[in-house]
Amino acid sequence: MNSLANISIATAVMLLSACGTPVAISDYYKADTASLQRYARMAVIEESDTHSGGLQELGTVTGIYCKGGVALTHQEKRVEAIDQLLLKAAQRGATHISEPACTASGVDLANNCPNKVVCKAQAMQVR
């Protein structure tokens, strides 16, 4: 009985202590005006157009959906992850992104994500 209690307490403490260090989530409210305006107008371009001369690559951006819960469907979680990706791209000055590629990795306790969806894309801006 003692050991069961100890294990339970240790598990709860571990999980709760992890709550203090969530993965970095970009916050719309704190984003600057220019980034939000770029976010609202962000264009997603076809793979074939990503290497066109008019666009300069800014690197890969990652958007993460990191939250437990049964309220959202996988598609909704994906949309939330892409939303994060778009905001992060906009904050890096991007006006375009390539088609996002998303993966659902489920529980990721190392990063304090009980339910994780990761989307990646190339951020680009007009030269």
Nearer to other proteins by C-beta: 16 or 101?
16
Query: Which one of residues 80, 85, 96, 98 is an interface residue with other proteins (CB under 8 A)?
Result: 80
Nearer to other proteins by C-beta: 29 or 53?
29
Q: Does 75 engage in binding with other proteins (CB under 8 A)?
A: no
Tell me the two tokens of residue 9. Answer: 């307490």
Sign (positive/negative) of CA torsion 38, 41, 44, 49?
negative
- Shortest distance, CB of residue 44 to other proteins, whole angstroms? 12
Q: Does 120 engage in binding with other proteins (CB under 8 A)?
A: no
DSSP for 72-99 reads S-HHHHHHHHHHHHHHHHHHTT-SEEEP
Q: Does 79 engage in binding with other proteins (CB under 8 A)?
A: yes
Query: Which one of residues 83, 92, 95, 104 is an interface residue with other proteins (CB under 8 A)?
Result: 83
Q: Does 18 engage in binding with other proteins (CB under 8 A)?
A: yes
* CA-angle at 79, arms to 14 and 105, nearest 5°: 40
Q: Could you tell me which stretch among 2-10, 52-60, 91-99, 118-126 binds other proteins (CB under 8 A)?
A: 2-10
Pairing state of beta strands 96-98 and 43-45? Answer: parallel
Q: Does 110 engage in binding with other proteins (CB under 8 A)?
A: no
The b-or-e profile of 79-88 (16+ CB within 10 A means b, else e) is ebbbbbbbbb
